[in-house]
Amino acid sequence: MASWWAARIRQFGSHVRARVTSAEREGLEDWLTPRHLELFDAMPVADRRHGLDVVASLRGSGKRDTELLLAGLLHDAGKGRTVGLWPRVAFSLGERYGSWVWRVARTLPGFRVALDRLDDHAERSAGLAADAGCSPRTVELIRHQSEPLDRDGAVLRLADEAN
């Protein structure tokens, strides 16, 4: 249990301190299409930072497959700019301690929509990726990020959880 809390505290700090440098953003232009970049730029800075960290983790483990890397970068695009930090905390606590946390949190202003968005963000992210011209494989890796269908999906999930 201590490691779960340590990971959530680390995630909280990462979310609050999240930044994407202009050099990091410019580096994406070498391998993303303009539509992919548009989707990336539409993401909140914390989700952009997280995507970059997932890509770095995948590359660090030797992965070079562009479709997998793109899934790592854009897998949270569906969370959107309207989902703030506190609904994310409530969602994570609900995953850990049960749906009663979500029932209580849904009574708070703005939390119902945010929690619904977090719950279905994989499907939303997959749809946005498809609309941005991502390959069917990238879209499916994103769609099944929580329950991977293959080895690459499992690698993506591990990189996501580690960052």
Give the whole-angstrom CA distance, residue 90 versus residue 110.
Answer: 12
> Considering the chain, what is the average pLDDT of its residues?
94
The predicted structure's pLDDT at residue 1: 61
**Residue-by-residue DSSP string for the chain:** -HHHHHHHHHHHHHHHH----HHHHHHHTTT--HHHHHHHHHS-HHHHHHHHHHHHHHHHTT---HHHHHHHHHTTGGG-TT--HHHHHHHHHHHHH-HHHHHHHTTSTTHHHHHHHHHTHHHHHHHHHHHTT--HHHHHHHHTSSS-SSHHHHHHHHHHHH-
In order along its 163 residues, the chain shows pLDDT tens digits of 668 888 888 888 888 898 999 999 999 999 999 999 999 999 999 999 999 999 999 999 999 999 999 999 999 999 998 889 999 999 999 999 999 999 999 999 999 999 999 999 999 999 999 999 999 999 999 999 999 999 999 999 999 988 8
Rounded to an integer, what distance in angstroms lies between the CA atom of residue 155 and that of residue 63? 9
Taking the CA atoms of 139, 143, 145 and 151 in sequence, report the sign of the dihedral they define: negative
Query: pTM for this structure?
Result: 0.92
